[in-house]
Structure 1
């Protein structure tokens, strides 16, 4: 259902300049935004958010257009619930750069868009600030701690 919703928003935002933020429900009711920061992705400035579904506990990333006419239009999303407890899944390689393994992105827009990856196939998140990269790492760590508490 999330993929359908994001596809709808992406298509709607490309339809004659109808910005996503003018759509009354551009976020899902049962999802909570846990993190928001800026990344540079294939030379585009995107807003990266971490969402958690309150009903199922599913966690996902979503990159959206950050500015302009298509602001908040989803570019890609990836469910990461199964990854957040793995220490090997994420590594910080620079104060503003984080690499993620095994990220299955669903891309919604930009035919020429190519998500950046390393030669080893890791997905690159290049944040615009150190504080956003740190906030992302901390949010993932909090989610991992929360999941471990639920298992006890």
Structure 2
């Protein structure tokens, strides 16, 4: 509902400028933000966490121009994200998410252009390698042995 409100307000010809406070949903905390190329357009991808429920939400918005920050789509991250197969890095700047339902607010947006494979995994194309890495680690923390500290119990005597 909130994204619909912001989308309508941003696109309304009577709106001169959307107030910053209209773009922030109370009770959510921003965990991540990066630029992505999405259906041929430059967008901002944000991961929000609901402070009460700890639920996560992906939010894509227009990166720049007249409709800057206008919501394009949102997706709620469900229990499927707990599966190691839910997120897969397929290149230096691309990840694929399995089983993601987008709620689209922009008539021109074509999510099928981002779907890949028979199962329709949703592909996110980041502008930077670092953003790709940080996004994946947000959902699937690295298990690199060089950064893992283990402690051994003292030997019994």
Give the structure-2-normalised TM-score.
Answer: 0.82
Deviates more, 1:13-22 or 1:125-134: 13-22
Q: Are 2:45 and 1:48 equivalent residues in the alignment?
A: yes
Distance 1:20 1:48, change over 3 A: farther
Q: How many positions carry a matched residue from both structures?
A: 138
The match for 2:36 is 39
The match for 1:90 is 87
Q: Are 2:25 and 1:25 equivalent residues in the alignment?
A: no
> How far has the Cα of 1:63 moved from its partner?
0.4
* Higher relative contact order (Cα pairs below 8 Å, separated by 6+ residues): 1
CA RMSD of aligned residues (A): 1.6
Contact 2:96 2:124 in 1 (8 A): yes
SS of the equivalent of 2:82 reads coil
Contact 1:20 1:72 in 2 (8 A): no
Distance 1:14 1:42, change over 3 A: same
- Kindly report which structure 2 residues correspond to 1:51-130, keeping only aligned pairs within 5 A, or say none: 51-109=48-106, 111-115=107-111, 116-120=114-118, 121-130=120-129
Distance 1:20 1:94, change over 3 A: farther
The match for 1:10 is 7
Q: Which runs of 4+ in 1 moved over 6 A?
A: none
> How far has the Cα of 1:26 moved from its partner?
1.1
Contact 1:9 1:20 in 2 (8 A): no
The match for 1:149 is none
Distance 1:122 1:17, change over 3 A: farther
Q: Distance in 2 between matches of 1:14 and 1:88?
A: 37
> How far has the Cα of 1:86 moved from its partner?
1.1
Question: Unaligned stretches of 5+ in structure 1?
Answer: 143-152
